[in-house]
Amino acid sequence: MLKANGINKRYGHQIVLQQASLEVKSEIKALIGINGSGKSTFLKIVAGIVEPDEGQVVINERDVSSLPPELRHVGYVPQHPALFKHLTVKDNVLYGLRKEAKVDYMKVVEMLDIKDVLHKRPHELSGGYKSRASLARALVPQPQILLMDEPLTGMDVVLKERILPDFRRVLKELQVPVLYITHDPKEAELLADSYAIIDNGKIHSVNTSIEAFDIIHNSILQAYSC
């Protein structure tokens, strides 16, 4: 479970987050916002990559606000698969796994259907396989929560619609709480159980992805009319 409370962040005079709070239980929650809305900054604060000006991050009832990323036990899937070019898919997936950890990584590999490409290197993979390998690497260490920052950016709609149900199936079977960042309500609908939007640095829960789209659309119209 994740609880982020009262997160504030500014860069110079630009206010990025204002008392942003969000709770993720045993679910896949999509945080939807337009580009530049602060959603990636919020995710990086939860991960420990960016330090907030104010606020608290609690994971499984443990305050991790002052801990570095490696001690937060979170999985992080970035916008673009950050796979090591010189390593095989297998070595990428196992990278960062503690040597003493006894994990059946092949279960994740088989669930994500990447067994046949374990011997390949990233430049030999399609975009879909790169995304699958990136997700596998985040899941193998068994994180307490998984953070996904628009991991299918640049992927065509047809491939997204094919790969997202697979991602959802794997995440639900492994019972990993997920915070999924996206600017696309349709993408959120294919993956998530619940939804929130980020607008003007604040986070609000919504009931459906359509409601999220309507609020964001109206916010954009108001911005252009000012």
The domains located in the chain, with CATH, are 2-80+143-225 (3.40.50.300)
State the Cα angle at 141 between 41 and 155, rounded to 5°.
Answer: 50
Range from 57-66, 91-100, 112-121, 154-163 carrying the lowest mean pLDDT: 91-100
Beta-carbon count within 10 A of 220 CB: 12
The CB density around residue 203, as the number of other CB atoms within 10 Å, is: 23
Under the banding of pLDDT at 50, 70 and 90, the label for residue 220 is: low
Residue 150 near residue 183 (C-beta atoms within 8 A): yes
pLDDT band at 215 (very low <50, low <70, confident <90, very high): confident
- Could you give the angle at which helices 127-139 and 157-174 cross, rounded to 10 degrees? 20
- In this prediction, residue 222 carries a pLDDT of 66
How far apart, in whole angstroms, are the C-alpha atoms of residue 185 and residue 209? 5
Written as six digits, the tokens of 182 are 């996206």
- Alpha-carbon distance of 131 to 82, in angstroms, equals 9
Cα–Cα distance, 157 to 128 (Å, whole number): 12
Q: Look up tokens 């068994």; give the residue.
A: 142
Q: What is the largest CA-CA distance in the chain?
A: 59
User: What pTM does this model have?
Assistant: 0.91
